Chains A and B, each alone.
Chain A
Amino acid sequence: MNGLKGISKKKLLDMYRMLTKIRGVQLMIEKLYHLDEMKTPVHLCLGQEAVSVGVCANLKREDFLFSNHRGHGHYLAKGGNLNFMIAELYCKETGCSKGRGGSMHLIDTSVGLMGSSSIVSGGIPLAVGAALTTLLKRENRISVVFFGDGASEEGVLYESMNFAALKKLPVIFICENNFYSVCSHISAREPDSKIYMRPKAFNIPSKRINGVDVLEVYLKAREAINYTRSGKGPFFIEARTYRWRGHAGQGDEQKSKYRKMDEWRRWIKLDPISKYEKRLLKSNILSEKLKQNINRQIEYDIDKAFEFGQKSPLPKKRDIMNYLYG
C-alpha cells in the first residue's frame, strides 16, 4: 500500500511500466532500423522517457496533448495505441496516420493526442488553440504541449505564451531541454540557458526541474496541472534532460565530435529508468518477480506490435489523393 512521496503504489508501478515500455520500443526500433523497413526518419527519445511519463501520469484521457518530431514517448505515455504507432513507422495503411505521416506525425484522437508537428515550435500555438476550445466550450480539460530547447528560440513560443496568459488558458508548456538542437549546443544558440525565466515576463508561473527523475517530474507536473486545471491559467516547465542518441536515426557515431564524452557519460549514469527501478526495488514496491513479469509482458506487447506493423498492408498507390481535404 505504501508508496513513495505520497504517490500510490499503483501510480508508481504504472509509471515504471510506461518507462519500460517506451525504452523497450525505442531500443527495438533502433535494433531493427538498419533493415530499412521502417522508411521514416526516427528521432529516438532514449534518455528522455521520464519527462513524458511523469507529465502524462497526471493527465486525463480527455486532456489534449501536442507533440513534436521526437514524440514516441509523448504518444505512448498519453496512452496512444502501440500497434498503430509501429505500423506508422512501417508506413502502413493501418498506421495511426495511415502511412501519410511517419514517425514525426503521430496521432490518436481517442486519447486526446491531436498530432505532432515536425516544424520546431509548430505544435505550441495549436495546444494554446485547443485550450481556447476548452475555454469556449466551458470544458474542464487542459491542453499540454511538449517541445525542445530549440523551440525556445522560435518567436511563436512567445506569441503563444502571450495569448495564453492574456486569456488565462488552461495550457501547460513543457520544454524538454536536452541541450542540443541536432548538433548545436544551447550555449552556441542562447545567451543564457534559463529558459524557465522567460515565461515570467508574461506572468506565467514556471519551474525548472530535473527531467531524469520521474518522481520529481510527476510531482512538479502535478502542481502545475492542478494550478492550471483550477482555472488559474497557463504554467511552464523546463525539464532538463539528455538525448542519449543522435538527433535522428540509430546510434550517434558523431557524438565525440560535438559532445564532450564525459558529459555524455555523466548523463547516461543518470539513466531515469534504472535509477527509478532500483528505488522501487529498495522500497519493496517492485519485486524481482514482478519486475520480470512486467518486462516479459512489455516485450510480448512490443513483439506483437512490430509483427502487426510488419504484416499490415501498405497504402494503395491509387489512394494517394485521399485525406487531402476533410
Chain B
Amino acid sequence: MPWTKLLIEKREPGFDDCQHKNLRKLKFSEAIREALDSALKYDKRVFVMGQGVDDPSGMFGSTLDLHKKYGRRRVFDTPLSENGVTGIAVGAAITGMRPVYIHNRPDFLLLAMDQIINHAAKWNFMFGGHANVPLVIRTVIGRGWGSAAQHSQALHGLFMHIPGLRLVMPSTAYDAKGLLIASIADNNPVVFIEHRWLYKHSGHVPKKIYSIPFGKGLVRRRGKDITVVAISYMVIEALRAAEELGREGYDVEVVDLRTLKPLDEEIILKSVKKTGKLLIADTDWITAGATAEIAALTAEKGFKYLKAPIKRIGWPDIPVPSSYVLEEEFYPGVEDIIKAVKEVVKE
C-alpha cells in the first residue's frame, strides 16, 4: 500500500541502530533481501515463492528483482491458495527442498492454519523423526492508514502456542538478515514475522553470510531500575522511551527477545533478577499472548526477584479499528511505555 509507505517515512524518520559512520548499513528490507539472495546463491535447494514476490516493488523491496537474478524457476509468483501453497511448500520441504514462502500480511496465514499447524509443525514428530520440514514462512505485520481488522494482525500469540514451530521476530536489520539465514538453514518450520514499520530502519549489516542462533535474546540497553522485555517493533518504542526516561533519571534495561520460540528464558530472568521489575511490551493482543507467557514464566521461575507486580503493554481485546483516531488509541507506544515504567518503578 503506497500510503503505508508515506506514513512510515513520516513516523519513522531514519531510525538507525548504529551511529558508527564507517560501517556498512542496510535498511531492514534490504537486509531481508540480502539474506534471501545469499541463501539462493549458497544453496540450490532454496526457492522463494509467494503472491507478488516478483512484483515491481518486490514485496516492499524485500524480494526486489531476485527473480531476475535466479530465474522464475526458483523465485516465483503463486496462486493465492494459502492453505494449498503452504502444503505444497511442506511437501517440497520433506522431499529435500528449502522453500521460503512469503505472505504480505499475517492475516492471510489464517487461511493456511491446517497446513501450518496440522502438517508442518507435526510431520517430523508424528513420523518419529523420519521427515523433517525445513520451511520458512515469512510475513509482514501491517499497521496504520486504516488498514483495519484484517490487514493489521500480528498473530504470533497463536503460533507461540504450537509445538514444533519456530517463531522469529527480528527488530533490527542486522538481526533480520542473520535470523532469516538461520531460519532457512534450520531443519524445521519457521514462522518469520516482520513488522512493516521496521522496513525503513537501517543498521549495520555485514556483507558476508552469517546467522544468529535461535533462543538468544539481546540486551539492547543496559539499566538497573526496570526490565522492559519487548517484541519486534516494540523494541524500538521501548528504546525511545528508555532514552526519554533516562533524561528524567530512570535507568531502563531493554531486552529484545528476537525469537519467541524458542524463548530465551535466561535473559529475562537474569535481567529481572537485577532490576526486580518487569514490563512486557508487545505488538499483539495481551490476552493469552506472548506477554502472558512471559509474565507466567517470570512468576513461576523468578517470583523471588520481583519487587513489584509485572505490567504488560499490548493491544486491547478488540479487532484493529480503521479510523486514525481509534488507531491512535489502539496502538500502545512510547508514551504508554513511559507511563507504565514510572508506575512500576514507583511501586
List chain A positions with a Cβ less than 8 A from chain B: 64, 66, 95-101, 105, 107, 109, 114-115, 117, 119, 122, 124-134, 136-137, 143, 155-156, 158-160, 162-163, 166, 322-326
Residues of chain B in range 42-78 having any CB-CB distance to chain A below 8 Å: 47, 73-74, 78
A126 touching B129 in the complex, CB below 8 Å, given contacts A159-B83, A160-B87, A325-B187: no
Residue numbers in A under 8 Å from B341 (CB-CB): none
Say which one of B10-18, B91-99, B280-288 lies at the interface with A: B91-99
- Contact between B88 and A101, CB atoms less than 8 A apart: no
A115 touching B128 in the complex, CB below 8 Å, given contacts A128-B88, A160-B87, A160-B88: no
- Chain B CB within 10 Å — which of A105, A115, A143, A166 has the most? A115
A119 touching B119 in the complex, CB below 8 Å, given contacts A159-B85, A323-B129: yes
Q: Is B324 in the interface zone, CB < 8 Å from A?
A: no
Complex Cα distance A127/B119, Å? Answer: 13
- Contact between B47 and A136, CB atoms less than 8 A apart: yes
A324 touching B84 in the complex, CB below 8 Å, given contacts A126-B90, A137-B96: no
A326 touching B128 in the complex, CB below 8 Å, given contacts A115-B94, A129-B95, A155-B83: no
Which of chain B's residues has its CB closest to A135's CB?
Answer: B73
Residue numbers in B under 8 Å from A96 (CB-CB): 127-128, 130
Besides the contacts A126-B94, A136-B73, A159-B81, what 17 more A-B pairs have beta carbons closer than 8 Å? A97-B128, A100-B125, A107-B127, A114-B91, A114-B131, A125-B85, A126-B88, A128-B84, A129-B94, A133-B96, A156-B81, A159-B83, A160-B88, A162-B81, A162-B84, A323-B129, A325-B124
Q: Is B325 in the interface zone, CB < 8 Å from A?
A: no
- Contact between A107 and B131, CB atoms less than 8 A apart: yes
A132 touching B91 in the complex, CB below 8 Å, given contacts A162-B79, A326-B188: yes
A126 touching B87 in the complex, CB below 8 Å, given contacts A109-B130, A119-B119: yes
Complex Cα distance A221/B268, Å? Answer: 59
Residue numbers in B under 8 Å from A99 (CB-CB): 128
Q: Is B164 in the interface zone, CB < 8 Å from A?
A: yes
Complex Cα distance A162/B74, Å? Answer: 19
Complex Cα distance A130/B131, Å? Answer: 12
Residue numbers in A under 8 Å from B115 (CB-CB): 122, 125, 156
Min CB–CB distance A154 → chain B (angstroms): 9
Which of chain B's residues has its CB closest to A315's CB?
Answer: B128
Q: Is B318 in the interface zone, CB < 8 Å from A?
A: no
Please name the 9 residue pairs, one residue from A and one from B, whose CB atoms are nearest each other, closest first.
Answer: A129-B91, A326-B132, A125-B87, A159-B84, A98-B128, A159-B81, A126-B91, A129-B88, A323-B129
Find A115's partner among B83, B92, B127, B134 (CB 8 Å cutoff): B127
Residue numbers in A under 8 Å from B86 (CB-CB): 125
Min CB–CB distance A31 → chain B (angstroms): 27
Q: Is B126 in the interface zone, CB < 8 Å from A?
A: yes
Min CB–CB distance A173 → chain B (angstroms): 13
Residue numbers in A under 8 Å from B127 (CB-CB): 96-97, 100-101, 105, 107, 115, 323
- Chain A CB within 10 Å — which of B86, B96, B126, B164 has the most? B126
Find A127's partner among B79, B91, B130 (CB 8 Å cutoff): B91
Residue numbers in B under 8 Å from A95 (CB-CB): 128
Q: Is B163 in the interface zone, CB < 8 Å from A?
A: yes
Complex Cα distance A156/B112, Å? Answer: 10
- Contact between B125 and A129, CB atoms less than 8 A apart: no
- Chain B CB within 10 Å — which of A119, A128, A133, A134 has the most? A133
- Chain A CB within 10 Å — which of B90, B91, B92, B131 has the most? B91
Min CB–CB distance A95 → chain B (angstroms): 7
Min CB–CB distance B6 → chain A (angstroms): 35
Residue numbers in A under 8 Å from B188 (CB-CB): 325-326
- Contact between B94 and A122, CB atoms less than 8 A apart: no
Which of chain A's residues has its CB closest to B128's CB?
Answer: A98
- Contact between B81 and A325, CB atoms less than 8 A apart: no
Residue numbers in B under 8 Å from A136 (CB-CB): 47, 73-74, 92, 97
- Contact between A160 and B84, CB atoms less than 8 A apart: yes
- Contact between B131 and A109, CB atoms less than 8 A apart: yes
A119 touching B95 in the complex, CB below 8 Å, given contacts A126-B90, A129-B88, A163-B85: no
Complex Cα distance A96/B94, Å? Answer: 16
Residue numbers in A under 8 Å from B159 (CB-CB): none
Complex Cα distance A66/B91, Å? Answer: 9
Min CB–CB distance B93 → chain A (angstroms): 7
- Contact between A122 and B131, CB atoms less than 8 A apart: no
Residue numbers in A under 8 Å from B129 (CB-CB): 98, 322-323, 326
- Contact between B131 and A101, CB atoms less than 8 A apart: no
